[in-house]
Amino acid sequence: MERIGVVGGGLMGAGIAEVCARAGSAVVVVESEQTRADDSRARLEKSLRRAQERGKLDDAEAVLQRITVTTELEDLADRQLVVEAIVEDESAKVDLFKRLDQIVTDQDAILASNTSSIPIMKLATVTSRPSHVLGIHFFNPVPVLKLVELVPSLMTADETTERSREYVEGSLGKNAITCQDRAGFVVNALLIPFVLSAIRMYESGFATAEDIDQGLVLGAAHPQGPLALADLIGLDTTMSVAQSLYEEFKEPLYAPPPLLARMVDAGLLGRKVGRGFYTYD
């Protein structure tokens, strides 16, 4: 794959563009408006320069030259793979997939979504080529975390999944796992109920936040405890993933605990606002 498109140049989209360009692909990133495009370019420049300073990249400038940031979706016409990484909003993504279907001319091109919770089938069925649509779910920070979840829908052709696997493993150097088109895929379906259990434990007064986290760090060799992890993910994001898991499976273990809902209502969203289960400077 030489010509890649990324729609949405935020946290995830910029990371996806970076790893694709570092792998040698020419990448077009499409943002919704010029100021956002400028922010995305700045984010990419900062990340690539930092990688060069740390000795992880030889020539940040050469990588940057392979990346074009634009506001014109039509610039994706000649792409072989387009990865959508816009806001997690079903109607916005549905509109975008309808437009991509009209714009991307190569009928062999793969149209992928980085969604964390929207069924791939909902995006595939609005295109004329559902066999070429799948989920390619990266993890944050994209340049660092090795995992990618490949999510074929019931209508995805095996060849689409295999070509995607070849690119993410062979070119991007990631490790891919495959899972069905179900809320949470593998990682969030296991991680979120674990985090929710820790919140329930804390909520019931069973132990302090520090002791719950220390228990898992020192007793189970986790790199960080579940409450610190919830603060890092963002309590609003944790809540919305829990809601989509609960909606899909109706299992109590996925139901967001009242304390989580109240903290989100209060704006205590974790690290990004300086306060969640812990306080940050």
Catalytic residues: 116, 137, 149, 188
**What gap in Å lies between CA 54 and CA 175, rounded to an integer?**
23
Residue number with CB closer to ligand NAD (9 or 119): 9
Is 9 a binding residue for ligand NAD by CB under 6 A? The answer is: yes
Is 13 a binding residue for ligand NAD by CB under 6 A? The answer is: yes
Residues 206-265 that bind ligand NAD (CB under 6 A): none
Instruction: Count residues binding ligand NAD (CB under 6 A).
Output: 23
Query: What three-state secondary structure class fits 145?
Result: coil
Residues 139-178 that bind ligand NAD (CB under 6 A): 140
* 263: β partners: none
Is 101 a binding residue for ligand NAD by CB under 6 A? The answer is: no
Tell me the per-residue interface mask from 61 to 100 with ligand NAD, x by CB under 6 A, - otherwise. ------------------------xxxx---x---x----
Check whether the bond before 141 is cis (ω within 30° of 0): yes
Closest residue to ligand NAD using C-beta atoms: 10
Backbone Cα Rg of the chain: 20
Tokens read off for 59: 């020539």
Stretch that binds ligand NAD, among 110-118, 204-212, 223-231, 259-267 (CB under 6 A): 110-118
Which one, of 111, 128, 123, 173, lies nearest residue 146 by Cα? 173
Taking CB atoms within 8 Å and a gap of at least 24, the contacts of 19-25 are 19/138, 19/142, 19/143, 19/172, 19/174, 20/171, 20/172, 21/63, 21/64, 21/66, 21/67, 22/57, 22/63, 22/143, 23/171, 23/172, 23/173, 24/66, 24/171, 25/1, 25/66, 25/171
Residues 32-51 that bind ligand NAD (CB under 6 A): 32, 36
Residues 14-33 that bind ligand NAD (CB under 6 A): 30-32
In contact, 36 and 44? CB cutoff 8 Å: no
Tokens read off for 163: 């070509």
User: In the bound complex, what is the minimum distance in angstroms from residue 230's beta carbon to ligand NAD?
Assistant: 13
User: In the bound complex, what is the minimum distance in angstroms from residue 50's beta carbon to ligand NAD?
Assistant: 18
Query: What three-state secondary structure class fits 208?
Result: coil
CB atoms within 10 A of CB 163: 18
Stretch that binds ligand NAD, among 5-13, 127-135, 152-160, 168-176 (CB under 6 A): 5-13
Is 271 a binding residue for ligand NAD by CB under 6 A? The answer is: no
Residue number with CB closer to ligand NAD (5 or 201): 5
Among 4, 6, 7, 198, contact with ligand NAD (rule: CB under 6 A): 7
Contact residues: ligand NAD, CB under 6 A: 7-13, 30-32, 36, 85-88, 92, 96, 114-116, 137-138, 140
